Amino acid sequence: MTQQATTVQASPSLDSGKIWKYLWRTDAVFNMLFGDLLIFATGTVIDFMGMSEDATNTVRVLGVLFAIQGLWQLWTARSGRISRISFLLGDLDMTLVGIGAIAAVVLGVEFNDVGTVIMIGFGGIGAFIMAGLWFVGSRQA
């Protein structure tokens, strides 16, 4: 009778640090892409969201800020480990973005229906979700 060799294959898994690193870098790439969209397609963004033409410079400045934030996130992740301070700064930034987006709608910045939904959904609620993620990430770092 022959014995068959049995092998136990370990399931691949990611440790907690790698998951946070990948999430951090993915967010950085999306921040840079969104910033580039705001910088180079300003007229399209303004038309799509129903904003007045007076908002051109403001939208471009926001695009530069998003692009700088994305570059900062990639810079802080270059060593492969994101520090607790970086997570907390990301948390603070996303909280301020959420407050600013909701305040823009409440204070009467001119948007059409699509712009209002985008500002509340992505700008407000989405930013608060990311702030919560970065807070949890700071606890794991």
Give pLDDT, residue 3. Answer: 62
Give pLDDT, residue 140. Answer: 85
Is 133 in a helix, a strand, or coil? Answer: helix
Give pLDDT, residue 13. Answer: 54
Strands (E), 4-59: none
How far, rounded to the nearest angstrom, does the alpha carbon of residue 100 sit from its chain's CA centroid?
Answer: 15
Which DSSP category does 78 fall into? T
pLDDT in tens, the chain (141 residues): 566 656 555 545 556 778 888 999 999 999 999 999 999 999 999 999 999 888 899 899 999 999 999 999 999 988 878 999 999 999 999 999 999 999 999 998 889 999 999 999 999 999 999 999 999 999 987
Give pLDDT, residue 109. Answer: 86
> Cα–Cα distance between 37 and 32 in angstroms, integer?
9
In degrees, rounded to 5, the angle at the alpha carbon of residue 96 between the alpha carbons of residues 92 and 100 is 175
The pTM of this model reads 0.81
Q: What residue spans define the domains of the chain? A: 17-140
Give pLDDT, residue 2. Answer: 62
> Cα–Cα distance between 1 and 117 in angstroms, integer?
70
71: tokens are 């570059």
Q: Are 57 and 109 in contact (CB under 8 A)?
A: no
Alpha-carbon distance values, 92 to 11, 24, 25, 36, 119 (Å)? 36, 15, 17, 22, 18
70: tokens are 């994305």
Residue 40 CB coordination number (10 Å): 12
Give pLDDT, residue 96. Answer: 94
